[in-house]
Structure 1
Amino acid sequence: MAWAGKILRVNLSTGTVASEPLKMDWAKQYLGSRGLASKYLVEEVDPKVDPLSADNKIIWSTGPLTGTMASTGGRYTVVTKGPLTGAIACSNSGGYWGAELKMAGWDMVIFEGRSEKPVYLYIADDVAELRDASGLWGKSVWVTEETLKTQHQDPLLRVSSIGLAGENQVLFAAVVNDLHRAAGRSGVGAVMGSKNLKAVAVRGTKGVGNIANPKEFMRVTFEKKKILHDNAVTGQGLPTYGTQVLMNVINEMGALPTRNHKDIQFEGAKDISAEAMATPRATDGKKQLVTNQACFGCTIACGRISKIDQGHFTVENKPQYWGASGGLEYEAAWALGAANGVNDLEALQYANVICNEQGMDPISFGATIGAVMELYEMGVLTAEQLGIDAKFGSAQALAHFVDITARGEGFGKEIGQGSRRLCAKYGHPELSMTVKSQEFPAYDSRGIQGMGLTYATSNRGACHLRSYTVASEVLGIPVKTDPLTADGKPELVMAFQDATAAFDSAGICIFTSFAWTLADVQPQVAAACGDEFTLENLNQIGERIWNMERDFNNRAGFTSKDDTLPPRLLNEPAKTGPAKGLVNKLPEMLPKYYEIRGWDHDGQLKPETRSRLGL
């Protein structure tokens, strides 16, 4: 059985740390990571709790394949009730932290209550202690990680922490590990900050030794790694260009949201693309992209390491940002760039670096700036309020906003509340491109219809990682579907949602799904955990997790009225590209989706659905 079999329960109010056995009956129903942590949250937290109160809980969780030799087995999730959305929040991260927790002998850490003073949790195998973090409060993620490694005289210590954004309750604050890997969305970092919890530092030396069938596990993981290696996306595209390979592709097909979704093609896309990152600059002859990088156990290595031009206005007097650091991914490059009409690649990298350093989700931050710039151009917001001229396309405004938002200064406090609250305050709620208060990622659902249904029904608010129909509608994986039609999309979205829940809960990266189906994951889980994990069982686990999350949200007060899109996407036809003249066809897709989900017309689980899934 590939679980460690025990969890840490940390009461921040009393300062106590206790070990308890993992509930194995739950592990067999929910697998691990996203699914299992969500089960603990759902059972222990009132759905109506204030996300930033001491009564909320926050959980770090690994999957059964985390820390093993399965490709990409380094993932962990942070699960809580999200302050940005008020819905269940589950944010996934790579790097090395998750594997380290597993190798220390723990499946999960549950934090409850609130500490009176800043603390961090230190874990070294079986030892787990809360320690004073007063000296770390007010410090960035980078300083926190470096300081803890020095204090503990251990360069291999792995740190998951918050920066100023989490401390300042930015509602899209992230939890960052390994300097630039992040549990990025829904404000999990703000919950951490509300509890005066600065970091979780872990060192594990035990390894993962309790694999059910070691010889079969070695054989099948080797076989599945070859599939990843031989695949055009996971073996060539992602290692070479990272997720940024999509920038020009999505722009050309007319689905790149631009200037707060006013347009769906960006004339500056080529300037902020993967190809631009890999092209020598005119200023110094050097490329922004330095190299690619892999997370623990990953054979794909899609991560980017980049360097900013030292002469660029953002860093010319800031030598601390001259070194190589985490580079732009597609979602961040879109949100910081096309969403605001900014085509200055170096400015995008600077904003990305600050998001990493201070722990902010670049998607929600960048998309909120898109709304700010539209409000500014309408005359609703002024340069005096904002501290700068903030027209669409202003790299200077982008750099200014990322600094003041991270520090919680001036108008940055309002940006840190996200676009829904900001747009509502200034009288234009329709300009917030969100679902359940969470900002959209980098795909316009007029040009990729399935993504509209994906966003509208996502349990954690607008999200591409809960059902990446782009794989099918754009890349033809596992089958090609027409991006401009609603036909068959309810079935496609449901299949992606359930499969993704299983991938996440196993403790592996969702990018493997470009080459693998659940039929490739199943033999790995079975060899690691036991033969009861059949393909049928894994499919049902994914469906059970999705419905459990949905039920939590319903009890938190969400209804079918929240399964919608902004008016712009439903009423304003696309102006250019293949989708010209189209709006998203959500009203056509949603009733069918409810029907195949086994929900009533109000979006509530039917009794027979609960019974079938054991909910």
Structure 2
Amino acid sequence: MSWAGKLLRVNLTKGTVTPEPLNMDWARAYLGSRGLAAKYLTSEIDPKVDPLSPDNKIIWATGPLTGTMASTGGRYTVSTKSPLTGAIACSNSGGYWGAELKMAGWDMVIFEGRSDKPVYLYINDDVAELRDASHLWGKSVWETEELIKKGLQDPLTRVSSIGKAGEVGVLYAAVVNDLHRAAGRSGVGTVMGSKNLKAIAVRGTKGVGNIRDPKAFMRVTKEKKQILHDNPVTGQGLPTYGTQVLMNVINEVGALPTRNHRDNQFEGAKDISAEAMATPRKTDGKPQLVTNQACFGCTIACGRISKIDQTHFTVANKPQYWGASGGLEYEAAWALGAANGVNDLECLQYATMICNEQGIDPISFGATVGAVMELYDLGILTKEQIGIEAPFGSAAALAFLVEETAQGRGFGKEVGLGSKRLTEKYGRPDLSMSSKGQEFPAYDGRGIQGIGLAYATSNRGGCHLRGYTIASEVLGIPVKTDPLSTEGKPELVKAFQDATAAFDSSGLCVFTTFAWGLTDLAPQLQAAIGEEFTTEELEKIGERIWNLEREFNNAAGFTAKDDSLPPRLLTEPCKTGPTQGKVNELAKMLPHYYEVRGWDAEGRPTAQTRARLGL
């Protein structure tokens, strides 16, 4: 088996670090990473717990294929109860940190309680201890990683940490590793900050040596890597253009949410696209994009490394931002750009660097700024309140607000609450483009019906990565479905949600699913950990995880009424393009989705469903 078979339990209140054997019955039932962390979390905390109290717990978890030679085997998840939504939170990250934890001999680290002073956890193979982090508090992610490595005199140490945003209580603060890879959504970094936990530094030298059938594993992973290589998305599109390849595509189909979803196409999309990133600038003759980058074990390499224009107003007097850094991904470019009507590519790069540096989810931040700009446009917010003129399209306002929010200053404190709380405060809750309190990503649920249903039913609030129906509805993977039709969408959403839960829990990247299905994941798991992990069993594991998360949310107080979309998506039709005149037909899809799921009319798993899944 390729589980390490043990976890670390860290009691921050007592200052203790205790190894424990992994519950192998749970590991076989929930696989690892997202699924296994959800099982531990839901078994150990009260669903009604205050997310920022010491009684909440936060878990870093790897999957059985994390740290192996399986392509994209660098993933880990951070799971907790979300301060942004009050729902279960599980945020996934790549880079190298997850593989390092696994190679140090640990599947998972569980933190409980709250330290009375800033600390970080240091893990060096079997040795693990809490260390003082007073000198790191107030530092950025970038500074924290550098200081820890210098202090340990080991540049190969991998660091997962929070920046200023997690310390000052931005409700969508991220956990960042390897400088610009992030467990970005749902405020996992906020919970970390509430516990006075600054970082986890890991050095692992053991490797992952307990593969069940090494020869079979080498054979099957080689075969599956070839499939990724030969696929036009994972072998060509993502390596060449990254996720930003979608900017012009989604705009053309009429589903690029623009100006807080007022519009569904952005006239400036081409200016902030992948193609624009690769085009030489007029100022210095160099493109913003420097190169692509891969996470641990990844053969896709969708990551972007970019350099900002040194003469741009955001950095003209800030040379610390002139070097190569993590570049724009599609969701960030949309949230910082189209969502606010901003088409200044250099400003978007600056904002994404601040988000990486201080640990902020760019999706929730950008979408919240979109709500602020609409409130300003309506005259509900003023320059005096915000601190700057903030019309749609203002790059100056975007740059100002990302700085204020990251530092927890001025109006940035309100932006840090997220769009739901902010719009409620100013009497227009309808202007929050969110579900369960988490902001939507870069696809309009009116023009793509299935993703609208996925947003409404996502266990962690508005999210595309819990069921990426865009693959089918726009890209035709694995089969083409009509984005404007509701027919078959409940079945499609359920299938994507369950399969994604299995992939997330394996320790591999969901981007592999552009080329792979569960039929490709199953033989890799069989060679690594056992023959029982058939395609059918993985389907059941994914469904079990989804229902476990749902039951936690139900116990936390969520009901069928929370499986909703903002009035704008249900009543205001798209204005332009192929989707003109469309609204999301959630009322038509949701009851059938419940039936397909084996839930009652109130969205609760029935006794038969619970029994079938062993819940």
Relative to the length of structure 2, the TM-score reads 1.00
Alignment of 1:303-322 (within 5 A): 303-322=303-322
Alignment of 1:584-603 (within 5 A): 584-603=584-603
Cα deviation for residue 416 of structure 1 reads: 0.2
**Paired amino acid for 2:443:** Y
How far, CA to CA, are the matches of 2:533 and 2:182 in structure 1? 30
Alignment of 1:454-533 (within 5 A): 454-533=454-533
Cα deviation for residue 237 of structure 1 reads: 0.2
Corresponding residue for residue 286 of structure 2: 286
Alignment of 1:432-443 (within 5 A): 432-443=432-443
| Secondary structure class of the residue paired with 1:225 | helix
- Encode CA deviations 1:555-576: one digit per residue, 9 max, x unaligned: 0000000001000000001100
Corresponding residue for residue 54 of structure 2: 54
Corresponding residue for residue 85 of structure 1: 85
Corresponding residue for residue 614 of structure 2: 614
Cα deviation for residue 535 of structure 1 reads: 1.1
**Paired amino acid for 1:354:** I
**Paired amino acid for 2:488:** G
How far, CA to CA, are the matches of 1:529 and 1:340 in structure 2? 47
Alignment of 1:193-204 (within 5 A): 193-204=193-204
Whether 1:241 aligns to 2:241 is yes
**Paired amino acid for 1:61:** A
- Encode CA deviations 1:284-308: one digit per residue, 9 max, x unaligned: 1010000000000000000000000
How far, CA to CA, are the matches of 2:549 and 2:532 in structure 1? 24
Corresponding residue for residue 565 of structure 1: 565
**Paired amino acid for 1:115:** S
Corresponding residue for residue 31 of structure 2: 31
How far, CA to CA, are the matches of 1:85 and 1:74 in structure 2? 27
| Secondary structure class of the residue paired with 2:262 | coil
Cα deviation for residue 397 of structure 1 reads: 0.2
**Paired amino acid for 1:438:** Q
| Secondary structure class of the residue paired with 2:496 | helix
| Secondary structure class of the residue paired with 1:202 | strand
**Paired amino acid for 2:405:** T
Corresponding residue for residue 173 of structure 2: 173
**Paired amino acid for 1:410:** G
How far, CA to CA, are the matches of 2:538 and 2:428 in structure 1? 44
Cα deviation for residue 358 of structure 1 reads: 0.0
How far, CA to CA, are the matches of 1:370 and 1:181 in structure 2? 24
Cα deviation for residue 430 of structure 1 reads: 0.1
How far, CA to CA, are the matches of 2:33 and 2:116 in structure 1? 29
**Paired amino acid for 1:184:** G
How far, CA to CA, are the matches of 1:431 and 1:37 in structure 2? 34
**Paired amino acid for 1:138:** G
Cα deviation for residue 534 of structure 1 reads: 1.1
- Encode CA deviations 1:292-328: one digit per residue, 9 max, x unaligned: 0000000000000000000000000000000000000
Whether 1:7 aligns to 2:7 is yes
Corresponding residue for residue 276 of structure 2: 276
Whether 1:146 aligns to 2:143 is no
- Encode CA deviations 1:507-533: one digit per residue, 9 max, x unaligned: 000000000001000000010011111
Corresponding residue for residue 213 of structure 1: 213
- Encode CA deviations 1:143-174: one digit per residue, 9 max, x unaligned: 00000000000000000000000001100000
| Secondary structure class of the residue paired with 1:18 | strand
How far, CA to CA, are the matches of 2:435 and 2:596 in structure 1? 22
Corresponding residue for residue 250 of structure 1: 250
Corresponding residue for residue 102 of structure 2: 102
Alignment of 1:378-397 (within 5 A): 378-397=378-397
Corresponding residue for residue 555 of structure 1: 555
Corresponding residue for residue 374 of structure 1: 374
Whether 1:537 aligns to 2:547 is no
What is the root-mean-square deviation in Å for CA atoms of aligned residues?
0.3
How far, CA to CA, are the matches of 2:481 and 2:440 in structure 1? 22
Whether 1:17 aligns to 2:13 is no
Corresponding residue for residue 127 of structure 1: 127
How far, CA to CA, are the matches of 1:25 and 1:2 in structure 2? 15
Unaligned runs of at least 5 residues, structure 2: none
Identity %: 80
Cα deviation for residue 391 of structure 1 reads: 0.2
Corresponding residue for residue 44 of structure 1: 44
How far, CA to CA, are the matches of 1:411 and 1:497 in structure 2? 37
- Encode CA deviations 1:245-284: one digit per residue, 9 max, x unaligned: 0000000000000000000000000000000000000111
**Paired amino acid for 2:390:** A
| Secondary structure class of the residue paired with 1:122 | strand
Cα deviation for residue 399 of structure 1 reads: 0.1
How far, CA to CA, are the matches of 1:543 and 1:233 in structure 2? 27
How far, CA to CA, are the matches of 1:117 and 1:446 in structure 2? 48
How far, CA to CA, are the matches of 1:530 and 1:284 in structure 2? 56
- Encode CA deviations 1:323-363: one digit per residue, 9 max, x unaligned: 00000000000000000000000000000000000000000
Corresponding residue for residue 302 of structure 2: 302
**Paired amino acid for 1:278:** A
How far, CA to CA, are the matches of 2:579 and 2:179 in structure 1? 39
How far, CA to CA, are the matches of 2:10 and 2:212 in structure 1? 30
| Secondary structure class of the residue paired with 2:577 | coil
Cα deviation for residue 390 of structure 1 reads: 0.2
Runs of 4+ in 1 over 2 A off after TM superposition: none
| Secondary structure class of the residue paired with 2:579 | coil
- Encode CA deviations 1:90-145: one digit per residue, 9 max, x unaligned: 00000000000000000000000000000000000000000000000000000000
How far, CA to CA, are the matches of 1:532 and 1:508 in structure 2? 19
- Encode CA deviations 1:395-453: one digit per residue, 9 max, x unaligned: 00000000000000000000000000000000000000000000000000111110110
| Secondary structure class of the residue paired with 1:578 | helix
Alignment of 1:214-233 (within 5 A): 214-233=214-233
| Secondary structure class of the residue paired with 1:533 | coil
Cα deviation for residue 36 of structure 1 reads: 0.2
**Paired amino acid for 1:100:** E
| Secondary structure class of the residue paired with 2:79 | strand
- Encode CA deviations 1:31-74: one digit per residue, 9 max, x unaligned: 00000000000000100000000000000000000000000000
Corresponding residue for residue 582 of structure 1: 582
Corresponding residue for residue 330 of structure 2: 330
**Paired amino acid for 2:571:** N
Corresponding residue for residue 182 of structure 1: 182
**Residues 19-28 or 530-539, more deviating:** 530-539
Whether 1:343 aligns to 2:343 is yes
Corresponding residue for residue 260 of structure 2: 260
How far, CA to CA, are the matches of 2:275 and 2:596 in structure 1? 42
How far, CA to CA, are the matches of 2:312 and 2:574 in structure 1? 35
How far, CA to CA, are the matches of 2:162 and 2:582 in structure 1? 42
**Paired amino acid for 2:477:** I
How far, CA to CA, are the matches of 1:66 and 1:527 in structure 2? 14
How far, CA to CA, are the matches of 1:377 and 1:478 in structure 2? 42
How far, CA to CA, are the matches of 1:585 and 1:221 in structure 2? 41
Q: Alignment length, in residue pairs?
A: 615
How far, CA to CA, are the matches of 1:361 and 1:80 in structure 2? 16
Relative to the length of structure 1, the TM-score reads 1.00
How far, CA to CA, are the matches of 2:225 and 2:402 in structure 1? 39
